[in-house]
Amino acid sequence: MVSTFTSASEVSTSPVKNDTHGATEEIASQAVDKATQATAKEIAKETARETAKETAREIARQMSQECVARRLRQVNRTITRLYDEALRPYGLTVNQLNILAVILSERQIQPGQLGQALGMEKSTVSRTIDRMARKNWLQVSAGKDSRTQLLRVTAKGRQLLLSVTPIWDTLQQSVLSSDDGQNILQMLALNTEPVETPQAQMPDIEAPLAADDFYL
């Protein structure tokens, strides 16, 4: 007769093995879930980073194409170059011409007031005034006290301005009639037409001056 007796050890071991196997599977499943969640989070972070980068690139493209300050700076450089090249034979820059014009219109002015009128830094005003004074275009004198100066245009500076006025007129009309010029006028909300200074209305000068006459 075959015995069907099962030992106590066999009876007690079987459930333990099953429980251990189940626990292992649960731990493995949790580990897989955590890994999947971590991967999903990393993917989401990377997607967010790429989206932010692309958004920044799109904004940068729009900004570089439409920024008024950038476009005006580019236009200003281009136009300034045109004026400077035309005035170079006289040893004059458009910035210096504007200084002559502002001082002449006020008769005399302090350097600080000149800087405010033209939006120039104090150091730039000082350097430019020194150069123009050395060329005898400007007279620098003491003000009411030793801390102030007064700027006046000399006779040579005045004749220089008159001599380059036809060049300035031509440039004004050329620039303002261009697309860039029209855009500038629209941006500044100006509605003006370029005005040519009639030669008949200009004060008489002793003799036509050549460009070389304005160099030291």
**Helix, strand, coil content of the chain in percent (nearest 5):** 70, 5, 25
In a domain, 140, yes or no: yes
Q: What pLDDT does residue 151 have?
A: 94
Q: What pLDDT does residue 200 have?
A: 37
Q: How far is CA 188 from CA 68, 120, 152, 185, in A?
A: 11, 20, 30, 5
Q: What pLDDT does residue 47 have?
A: 84
In a domain, 127, yes or no: yes
In a domain, 132, yes or no: yes
Q: How far is CA 132 from the centre of its chain?
A: 28
In a domain, 50, yes or no: no
pLDDT < 50 positions in the chain: 1-2, 8-9, 11, 190-208, 216
In a domain, 157, yes or no: yes
- Residues 22, 150: Cα–Cα separation, whole Å: 97
Residue 108 lies in domain: 68-197
Q: What pLDDT does residue 28 have?
A: 64
In a domain, 41, yes or no: no
The tally of domains found in the chain comes to: 1
In a domain, 1, yes or no: no
Q: What is the CATH number of the domain that holds 139?
A: 1.10.10.10
3-class state of residue 190 by DSSP: coil
φ, ψ of residue 76 in degrees (nearest 5): -60, -45
- Residues 25, 83: Cα–Cα separation, whole Å: 83
In a domain, 20, yes or no: no
Q: What pLDDT does residue 126 have?
A: 92
